[in-house]
Chain A
Amino acid sequence: MLWDAFLQLLDLWIVAAALIGITTGVIIGAIPGLGPTMAIALLIPVTFAMQPVPAMILLLGVYQGAIFGGSISAVLLNVPGTPSSAATAMDGFPMARRGEGGRALRLALFASVFGNIFSCLVLMALAEPLARLALDFGPAEMAVLMLFALLVIVLFGGGSRLDALIMVLVGVCAGIVGLDPISGTPRFTFNSFAMESGFQLIPVLIGLFAMSEVFLQVFNRAPEVRADVMPELRSSHVSVAEMWRMRLTLLYSSMIGTFVGILPGIGSTVPAFMSYSLARSRSKEPETFGKGAAEGIAAPEASNNAVTGGALVPTLALGIPGDAVTAVILGAFMLHGLAPGPFLFEKNGLEVYAIFEALLFSSIPTVILGLLLFRAAIHVTRIQPRHLLPAIAILALFGAFSVNNNLFDVWVMLGAGFFGFLFRRSGFPLPPLLIGLILGHPFEQSVRQALLTSGGKFAIFADSPITLILLVLIVMSITTSVFVYFRSKRSGRDG
């Protein structure tokens, strides 16, 4: 079966489809506001005339490429192209500012490929049993998992924990605006129809990270980088030994990405930050994180790319898509006569395995394309910020508008930019705010769903093996961080 499927791939059209898909994906992913969802949706009609296998390879190539492409602008400009690459910017941008942009991009590329291969192998080997496992995650399990994710970001995200907690709560509060998820009544919408959908993630993200950078530079009297002190471009070599040293980080991050990807509705941003926090807490030199640590780039990249394979598990095995991107991919599979669901593997096994293998082998063109692209892209770091700012501002405006073709989102973006500017000026970290905004609404929804199904009894949160394991993890992370806190306090007093 696997060999037959492989033979199907030896076709010029399939190779061309993979190349075109990945290139398009990388470019679209690098532009803020144009995520993989839009790219795939726009390309579906183009694939109507194609055979099913090359068509799906083209579309999945766009998906993979876009997730990686988002990290290019995150590393070089500190403007995440996709929400999931916001974590990559935390160490990628400082490294690029040191003149090691090429190295940062290569680390991101190799980690992405690792995450991709890992999750593809999981998808091929375990799609059906894992899809069953995903079903065991009901509202109660999701609620505890999200609580755990929020906790990890606050405790191990780096910096002051109180600051992180405040920012998480700001994010959660911003997520309350909109329609109540259970009763459907408007909350804090001030009778405005536009506010009923709440604050959309992408305009907020672009505002917080990109627009606030513009404001910071505009209000900065002394420009940060002068032409004469521009960083020298340094060697971008990344050795195999260096990647090998990070093997555990890569493995854990890929596991987090794949697993969270399987669960519906969380997306790829949260696992990226979770992996970043885990890598930092496991590191022997946690103080280098945020200043251009290699593992701070590798961990989120491996994780957010591993989400692609994970997210396809329930989509293909059950016909249940976890998020907007996989919902669009599901539609594309159906249009090409490969209806995802329980019969997919029986009826179209050969095509499906051919598509999986193509996902695996697409790492080869991704690496080649990536390395070629970097040669040109890296020179962006040699452009002075004041020359880049207009371009960033315009990209931010267009990006926010293009999400829903809605002017309201542009105002949200500008507002988020202003708040982001204030927070950054006063030294508050932005990632916890983003995570609070992403998880706040679904966390509230799952807690309330769980209580509705249990008739209001809180016991449901300690009822299943999954919630128990997660509760143990929560207690362990709290005790660890309390222990580390007291130890560091004592050693501080001794020294």
Chain B
Amino acid sequence: MKITRRFGLALAAGMLLTPFVAQAADNYPDHAVKIIIPYGAGGTTDTSARQLASQTEKLLGQPIVVENMPGGSGANAMRAVAAADADGYTLIAATSSPSFVTPALRPVGYDPLKDFEPVLNYSGPYHGVLVKADSPYKTFEDMIEAAKSGTSLSFGTAGALGGAHLAFTSVAKQSGGALQHVPFNGASAATAAVLGGHVDISLVPAYRDLVQDGQLRLLGVLDGSRDPEFPDSPTLNDLGYKAEFPSIVGILAPAGTDPAIISKLETAFTKAASSDEFKKFMTKLGQPVRIMSGEALKKTISENFYAYQEIAKEISK
């Protein structure tokens, strides 16, 4: 009696497990996939990831559940996903700061290079170098010249030790200009501060309308490539500095996920992200669509992780 029951259980378990073991990738996904958003509900990362999820679930044939896990500037969610089962059912919509900025500065409880397998990059707002429209500095060079000739210029960012702060600290080092960092509580507060003339420069995203309205002037962008809406504004690299703050928003899976599953996910997400529907949605939200393969994203993350570690070392000197 006992034996038969145990045998039956084993048989049932065996039957349940076989497909997982033998053809996990072929049957993937056979239940809902979870994407964790490292920020609160309603923000741009959340809203765009929800749209991408709702388009991709049609292609995957299984629902995609979006879950918010804010806190620790995104590090809490990254830690949770790093520790999750690498079965392709737990993913994260990661941004620059928890992927390569914060981990380069202090222990966060995960390794951004070893603990994750990038799937693709699909967005990332351009960060601009902005001054008030009535500022005497017409170009980036003007500003650096002024900073070199005695006037200390203040620059506002969305927060201490963010990517923008570190990239600009590197610019100050390379040019020898006096640039004083003033961290604010979020990009909106930093934008308000430059508009009100409380800081000379702000390094913030979402500047399009204020620049087009003639309230702010865009001197350059921190990304590795130019903002297609303002093709005349140079990148830091164009200006001759070895510094950048590439903004990423991409999907990562825990390291050790079956490569076949990763490639399945990459195909589906890339198809959804390159659709006109997604592009239209993102344009309304004021966000660019920037598609990058998992391989390329992996390279961006590791290159910048090492670069930021170097800058962090210099700052702490």
Binding site for B on A (CB under 8 A): 37-38, 40-42, 44-45, 134-140, 179-186, 193-194, 196-197, 264-265, 314, 318-322, 324, 327-328, 331-332, 334-337, 339, 341-343, 404-406, 442, 445, 449, 452-453, 455
Contact = CB atoms under 8 A, between A and B. Distances in A.
A335 B50 CA distance: 13
B42 A44 contact: yes
Contact of A134 (B109, B180, B192): B192
A416 to B, nearest CB: 17
B40 A265 contact: no
B195 interface: yes
Contact of B180 (A37, A38, A324, A452): A452
Contacts of A193: 72, 75-76, 79, 108-109
Interface stretch (B2-10, B83-91, B152-160): B152-160
Contacts, number: 139
Contacts of B183: 181-182, 184, 445, 449
A309 to B, nearest CB: 19
B213 A135 contact: no
B169 to A, nearest CB: 12
Contact of B161 (A184, A328, A332): A184
A328 B43 contact: yes
Contacts of A196: 72, 75
A139 B42 contact: no
A329 B152 CA distance: 37
Interface stretch (B17-25, B63-71, B245-253): B63-71
B196 A449 contact: no
A40 B42 contact: yes
B46 interface: yes
B105 A319 contact: no
Interface of B: 40-44, 46-47, 50, 67-72, 75-76, 79, 105-106, 108-109, 152, 154, 159-161, 180-185, 188-189, 191-193, 195-199, 206, 209-210, 212-213, 215, 281, 284-286
Contact of B43 (A320, A327, A337): A327
B185 A331 contact: no
A465 to B, nearest CB: 14
A344 to B, nearest CB: 9
Nearest to A408: B71
Nearest to A137: B196
B69 A405 contact: yes
B71 A406 contact: yes
Contacts of A136: 196
B76 A406 contact: yes
A135 to B, nearest CB: 4
B93 to A, nearest CB: 15
Given A45-B50, A318-B195, A335-B47, A449 B182 contact: yes
Contacts of B196: 135-138
Given A136-B196, A318-B192, A404-B69, A331 B108 contact: no
A444 to B, nearest CB: 11
Nearest to A42: B41
Contacts of A41: 40-42, 46
Contacts of B68: 405
Nearest to A180: B160
A325 to B, nearest CB: 9
A405 B192 contact: no
A44 B196 CA distance: 32
Contacts of A180: 160
A310 B139 CA distance: 36
B70 to A, nearest CB: 5
A197 B67 CA distance: 19
B38 to A, nearest CB: 11
A332 B285 CA distance: 9
Nearest to B196: A135
B185 A334 contact: no
A186 B199 CA distance: 26
A334 B40 contact: no
A38 B42 CA distance: 8
Contacts of A135: 192, 195-196
Contacts of B40: 37, 41, 324
A314 B290 CA distance: 30
A139 B72 CA distance: 24
Contact of B191 (A139, A140, A320): A320
A169 B70 CA distance: 28
A377 to B, nearest CB: 28
Nearest to A341: B209
B72 A449 contact: no
Contacts of A337: 284
Contacts of B44: 331
A186 B192 contact: no
A27 B69 CA distance: 24
Contact of A138 (B50, B69, B198): B198
11 contacts: A44-B47, A138-B197, A181-B160, A184-B183, A193-B79, A196-B72, A265-B185, A327-B42, A327-B188, A343-B212, A455-B180
